[in-house]
């Protein structure tokens, strides 16, 4: 099966047209006519995950985050992006990214299911009936501290940051994976008691609390690394003739 044939099937479910305007998705490195026998999934195309993919013998690397956002003016070993590109090109490794198109058509649902939310609606609509994030309700209200512990356990992450009164009762939850401080206003508008997201800076968090919504910062990696296992499972179902591997889960920081 060629890289192009795999891309066509992927894009039937996660069409690049759902990606946001600023994004860069699709085939970023490699040949469309490359024969693919092994695929490797990861959240990011780092030196470590590229090395893991090559050790696996992958012909195609699929990540959530695109390695390339800005125009590349030089491809040399003096630059870390250049080194990654050289490594992939020398190894004839195709590289495909599915970012905000997957956020719209997959990640929001994953987060919703992970937290067990019901009666869900889209947090921020980007296409008719589709969009970034979800707002839903818990089975029963709980205090914010208990909910923060639930988020930590459900996402299987080492820690979360909680902003708000630990005794505050929460039931209506907004969730937006990745870097979601821009989603706080929409979560307030939809009546959420708390928003679960990542990369929330201090001022955005305390301002949110002042407006009546609590914040659980579960981290960018913590809210999105589920992509790795999910996409491996989906690829195995969609392409039973392919061998699929995945990057090891490795949280990018430690609490000391």
Tens digits of pLDDT across the chain (256 residues): 999 999 999 999 999 999 999 999 999 999 999 999 999 999 999 999 999 999 999 999 999 999 999 889 999 999 999 999 999 999 999 999 999 999 999 999 999 999 999 999 999 999 999 999 999 999 999 999 999 999 999 999 999 999 999 999 999 999 999 999 999 999 999 999 999 999 999 999 999 999 999 999 999 999 999 999 999 999 999 999 999 999 999 999 998 9
Q: Maximum Cα–Cα distance for the chain, whole Å? A: 58
* Residue 70 pLDDT: 87
The CATH number of 102-217 is: 3.40.1390.30
Report yes or no: 164 and 209 within 8 Å, Cβ to Cβ.
Answer: yes
User: What secondary structure letter does DSSP report for 85?
Assistant: H
217 is in an annotated binding site: no
Place of tokens 């696996």: 56
The predicted structure's pLDDT at residue 35: 98
Other Cβ atoms less than 10 A from the Cβ of 22: the count is 7
The DSSP string of 32-47 is TT-B-SEEEEESS--H
Question: Binding site annotation covers 44?
Answer: no
Helix H or strand E encompassing 215: strand 214-217
Q: Where are the domains of the chain?
A: 3-98+224-246, 102-217
d(CA 125, CA 210) in angstroms, rounded, equals 25
Return the ∠ at Cα 169 (arms to 147 and 175), rounded to 5°. Answer: 50
Comparing C-alpha atoms, which of 204, 200, 214, 211 is closest to residue 167?
Answer: 214
Identify the pLDDT of residue 20: 96
Q: List the Cα angle 233/236/240 in 5-degree steps.
A: 165
Whether the predicted model's global pTM rises above the 0.85 cut = yes
Sign of CA dihedral 254, 169, 208, 121: positive
Q: What is the pLDDT of residue 138?
A: 98
Its CATH architecture, for the domain 3-98+224-246, is 3-Layer(aba) Sandwich (3.40)
- Give the pLDDT score at 64: 98
| Residue 64 annotated as lining a ligand binding site | yes
Establish whether 224 is an annotated binding residue: yes
Q: What is the pLDDT of residue 77?
A: 96
| Identical fold between 3-98+224-246 and 102-217 | yes
pLDDT at 111: 96
What's the token pair of residue 94? 């195709």
DSSP symbol at 2: B
Report whether 165 belongs to an annotated binding site: no
Whether 53 and 40 have beta carbons less than 8 Å apart is answered as yes
């Amino acid at each position: 099966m060629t890289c192009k044939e795999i891309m066509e099937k992927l894009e039937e479910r996660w069409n690049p047209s759902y990606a946001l305007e600023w994004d860069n998705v699709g085939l970023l490195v490699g040949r469309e006519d490359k024969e693919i026998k092994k695929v490797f999934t990861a959240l990011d195309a780092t030196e470590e995950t590229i090395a893991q993919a090559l050790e696996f013998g992958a012909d195609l690397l699929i990540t959530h985050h695109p390695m390339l956002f800005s125009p590349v003016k030089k491809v040399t070993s003096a630059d870390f992006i250049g080194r990654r590109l050289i490594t992939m090109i020398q190894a004839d490794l195709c590289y495909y990214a599915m970012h905000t198109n997957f956020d719209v058509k997959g990640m929001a649902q994953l987060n919703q299911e992970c937290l067990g939310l019901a009666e869900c609606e889209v947090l921020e609509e980007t296409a008719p009936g589709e969009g970034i994030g979800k707002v839903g309700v818990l089975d029963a209200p709980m205090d914010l501290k208990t909910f923060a512990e639930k988020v930590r356990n459900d996402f299987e992450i080492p820690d979360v940051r909680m902003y708000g009164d630990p005794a505050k009762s929460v039931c209506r939850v907004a969730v937006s994976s990745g870097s979601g401080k821009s989603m706080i206003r929409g979560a307030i508008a939809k009546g959420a008691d708390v928003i679960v997201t990542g990369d929330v800076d201090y001022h955005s968090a305390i301002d949110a609390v002042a407006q009546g919504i609590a914040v659980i910062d579960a981290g960018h990696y913590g809210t999105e690394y589920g992509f790795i296992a999910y996409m491996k499972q989906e690829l195995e179902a969609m392409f039973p003739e392919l061998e699929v591997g995945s990057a090891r889960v490795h949280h990018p920081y430690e609490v000391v």
